[in-house]
Amino acid sequence: MDLSVAPSTTAASDIVRGEDALAALTALVRDDLEACNRLIVERMQSPVALIPQLAAHIVAAGGKRLRPLLTLAAAKLAGYRDGQRHVALAACVEFIHTATLLHDDVVDESALRRGQASANALFGNKPSVLVGDFLFARAFQVMVEDGSLEVLRILSEASATIAEGEVLQLITQNDTATTEEQYLAVIEGKTAALFAAATEVGAIVAACTPAQQQGLRAYGHNLGVAFQLIDDALDYSARQEALGKTVGDDFREGKITLPVLLAFQRGDEAERVFWRRTLEEREQADEDLGRAIALMEKHAAFADTVGRARDYGNAALEALAVFPDGVERRALAGIVEFCISRAR
């Protein structure tokens, strides 16, 4: 299916797009990212051999390091030039993210992570949960070493919000009566909170103005919502296979995402019976995923989900306006395009 919508007219014409945007951002902070990766490896170590073994598995499984990249680039945009605080905090953000992945795969009973066997499939649920706890603890050690109560507040609040978002998703799972407001609360918690914290701590280390700090937080928040909206649309797209994921995992688990909500709201009673059977009662036949995709296409659920992501992307771009134009701002603007262009 074609998930694309017209590109934003608010983005600068010289914004680098797609994978090139990610490459541009990575190149911009390459030395800092390499230092961050070294610190991650160093702080994963433990005399308990299973901990670095399991942690290394999920870290080596791939991923674009998007969240620590945002911390590094935000600090650079905000004028931070001397010191390594941003490197340590970027590692902290990645530890929090990796811990949530370990826990999520256990909760979702996932067998794959980025096309490879998940940690829980290889090592078991109990070790995955406990190593996730270890990584959370490492993250808080790094926060304390940084010495800023404001950094500690931002990242600890984000950690609590992520947990709340995941619990709220459990509550709304398999419930077709879920509202769009509840759905947005889930993705703002489980995804956008860490994006927002990742960019805001970059502002903190740079000691920039309150308006710039708020701008970077708003950028991260809106980018995170856009990112998750695209992820939820991609779950029903053949492009998901190219990303190393299985098409229809959310459907099989009965997760209520925006494409489902739109198709359910716009469908007739017979279609709603189908959604209740497959998502609430979890009675699914082999052909049901195909029918679900057809219903979403019929009701423009994919295009409208991507369009909603574009709206949040535009808000992220507007939040950067508190900074002067320059290579850092254009690189961060390009990441908005990267996140949304995954749907093409």
End-to-end CA separation in angstroms for the chain: 9
The residue ranges of every structural domain in the chain are: 18-341
Q: Is 2's pLDDT higher than 50?
A: no
Q: What is the CATH number of domain 18-341?
A: 1.10.600.10
Q: How confident is the model at residue 344 (pLDDT cuts 50, 70, 90)?
A: confident
What is the per-residue pLDDT for 62? 58
CB 204 within 8 A of CB 148: yes
Predicted TM-score (pTM) of this structure: 0.91
Dump pLDDT digits (tens) for 157-183: 999 999 999 999 999 999 999 999 999
What is the per-residue pLDDT for 300? 97
% helix, strand, coil for the chain, step of 5:
75, 0, 25
Mean pLDDT of 127-138: 93
**Mean of all residue pLDDT scores within the chain:** 90
Helices (H) then strands (E): counts for the chain? 18, 2
The Cα-based distances of 224 to 72, 220, 253, 326, 335 in angstroms read 16, 6, 22, 23, 11
Name the percent of the chain lying above pLDDT 70: 90
> CB count, 10 Å around CB of 50?
13
What is the per-residue pLDDT for 4? 42
What is the per-residue pLDDT for 243? 53
DSSP code per residue over 192-224: IHHHHHHHHHHHHHHT--HHHHHHHHHHHHHHH
Q: Is 73's pLDDT higher than 90?
A: yes
> CB count, 10 Å around CB of 65?
21
Tell me which of 242 and 304 has the higher pLDDT. Answer: 304
What is the per-residue pLDDT for 115? 64
CB 142 within 8 A of CB 89: yes
Q: How confident is the model at residue 119 (pLDDT cuts 50, 70, 90)?
A: confident
Per the DSSP assignment, residues forming a β-bridge with 112 are 117
Dump pLDDT digits (tens) for 250-300: 999 999 999 999 999 999 999 999 999 999 999 999 999 999 999 999 999
What is the per-residue pLDDT for 268? 97
What is the per-residue pLDDT for 238? 64
Dump pLDDT digits (tens) for 236-253: 986 655 555 678 889 999
